[in-house]
């Protein structure tokens, strides 16, 4: 009996690849990976209530630049940072609201007339030279940490710039 003939469909021609499109695609992938690999990112511990949907609205309302610093990516939900990973302004939404306190409470009003009350939990004179502010009378609360080197002893301008975003959380109480 004669040997069976191979089916013509099983004998495929080898494909011919052109190197230009494949090379261009590989270059695009490498370039893309290179750009994202160099972008600064900062690890920020999320606040306990960072998954609160109101925090998403706060984060979306934040400016891309703050006090001349560009926004950098963070590793946690409900957080934002400006500057560089070694010295940056950090915002965390969803921190536990403050109860009664003897810490100073200041009202910051921006140029649009939006007022936000902030409790100064650290005034930059303590170890680390960092200012820490927490919104007062808002749930979830927003915490803003500003290195003294970036605050230049006058953090009011930075608080004004994030005021619109912090005001997304409606006030329940005010400083007295």
- In the predicted structure, residue 159 carries a pLDDT above the cut 60: yes
Domain assignment present for 9:
no
Q: Is 150 domain-assigned?
A: yes
19 is a domain residue: no
Residue 22 belongs to a domain? no
Geometric angle at alpha carbon 161, from 155 and 164, rounded to 5°? 130
Greatest mean pLDDT range, 105-109, 110-114, 128-132: 105-109
Residue 118 belongs to a domain: yes
First to last CA, the chain: 105
Identify whether 175 is part of a domain: no
Domain that holds residue 50: 41-166
Least confident window among 12-16, 23-27, 135-139, 153-157: 23-27
Q: For the chain, what is the domain count?
A: 1
pLDDT in tens, 9-50: 545 444 443 334 333 333 333 333 334 456 668 999 999 999
pLDDT at position 6 is 54
Contact assessment for residue 69 and residue 89, using Cβ atoms and an 8 Å cutoff: yes
> Is 88 a domain residue?
yes
Does residue 8 fall inside a structural domain? no
């Amino acid at each position: 009996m004669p040997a069976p003939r191979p089916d013509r469909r099983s004998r495929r021609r080898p494909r011919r690849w052109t190197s230009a499109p494949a090379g261009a695609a590989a270059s695009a992938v490498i370039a893309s990976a290179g750009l994202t690999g160099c972008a600064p990112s900062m690890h920020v511990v999320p606040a306990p209530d960072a998954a609160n949907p109101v925090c998403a609205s706060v984060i979306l309302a934040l400016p891309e630049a703050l006090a001349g610093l560009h926004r950098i990516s963070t590793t946690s939900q409900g957080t934002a940072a400006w500057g560089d990973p070694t010295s940056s302004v950090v915002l965390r939404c969803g921190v536990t609201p403050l109860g009664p306190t003897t810490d100073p409470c200041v009202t910051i009003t921006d140029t649009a007339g939006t007022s936000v009350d902030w409790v100064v939990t650290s005034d930059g004179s303590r170890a680390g030279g960092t200012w820490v502010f927490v919104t007062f009378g808002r749930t979830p609360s927003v915490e803003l940490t500003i290195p003294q080197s970036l605050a230049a002893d006058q953090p009011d301008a930075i608080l004004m710039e994030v005021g619109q975003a912090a005001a997304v959380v409606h006030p329940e109480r005010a400083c007295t």
